Amino acid sequence: MIAQTLKWIGGVDGFLELIDQRRLPAELVRLQCADIGQLYEAIKTLAVRGAPAIGVAAGYGLSLAMQQLKPSADTAEAIAHLEKSAEYLAQSRPTAVNLFWALERVKNHAQTFVSENQNATQTSLREAVLAEANGIYAEDVDMCRRIGENGQKFIKNGAGILTHCNAGALATAGQGTALSVMFEAQRKGKKFKVYADETRPLLQGARLTAWELKQAGIDVVLICDNMAGWLMKQGQIGAVITGADRIAANGDAANKIGTYSLSILAGNHSIPFYIAAPSSTFDLSIKSGGQIPIEQRDADEVRFFGDRKIAPDGVDIYNPAFDVTDAENITAIITEKGVIESPSTEKIAEHFK
């Protein structure tokens, strides 16, 4: 079984239903977001997470925002409200570029719709906004499948695959990015074992990735983050495959904190290191990873383990959500358009032509 992490229910007056990932794996609970404030909170608190899923959710968030319009509002007022709502949602998380990409796409589509349709009404505009959000959803589902198809060749029969954080169906509208590669390899009949880092401090690997892989019937072993290097030295890891939240024009890739360390370990042990991500995760306006904003999260995520305090009072805490892996440490980037071997500025520019 592959989870469906989010779906829109109803028409223009509908709502967005999400798997509440804060509750996994203990409970499978679905959260209904009926207004933009609820969705902002869901993104901020990681009820929905993963760059592609955040982007899809944000697109639907603008459809939720349009429900707040007064019946008397004309299209100019509607566009102004849409722009303000996009600015609000953009503040929920700073690193995942899909969030900004989706908001910009829906906003631009709405503006174009009004400029090209002199008889546009609030109702027809709301329908256009929802249609564009649905389009982003459908494209994400297809993108996930194609990433998996393009990347499954890198998984060899009998191999051990290491992954970090969660880049599965829970992180997308479809079957995932990094985990899509594994799902497609499974469909090809390949037998392999996945080692999932627990991914401190929020344990996305333990709570989400291990849960997804187990549900799909893939052989999965959960490990602590600091065990990866030893497994590599023992020859148990044939490849590392992770997702990404933003990729710069030169191929530097931001992903969950700890990914950079894995790339160094993989290189030291001559193990290929792959990033699986959609084209929407590339930010070609940023030349290198040094320009990617890194989200700093609440210190209590480190200070506490669940409800139990594990750090002494008064100690300083550093809690970046992401780090950046240099392009030179990446064997290839797997996208829905194909594979970028040994990524560089020139190769990525060619990939997007």
**Consecutive H or E run containing 308:** strand 308-309
C-alpha to C-alpha distances, 207 to 178, 181, 183, 199, 245, nearest whole angstrom: 16, 20, 18, 9, 19
Report the catalytic residues.
Answer: 245
- Token digits for 40? 């902002």
Q: How many CB atoms lie within 10 A of CB 339?
A: 18
- Token digits for 259? 């990914």
Cα 241 to Cα 259: distance, rounded to the nearest angstrom? 10
C-alpha to C-alpha distances, 104 to 38, 64, 95, 285, nearest whole angstrom: 20, 16, 15, 14
- Token digits for 331? 């064997």
Listed in sequence order, the residues at least 6 apart from 41 whose beta carbon sits closer than 8 Å to its beta carbon are 47
Strands (DSSP E) along 10-132, which ranges?
Answer: 15-19, 30-33
Contact, 289 vs 259, CB < 8 A?
A: no
Q: How many CB atoms lie within 10 A of CB 191?
A: 12
Strands (DSSP E) along 213-266, which ranges?
Answer: 219-223, 239-242, 246-248, 253-256
- Token digits for 47? 């009820």
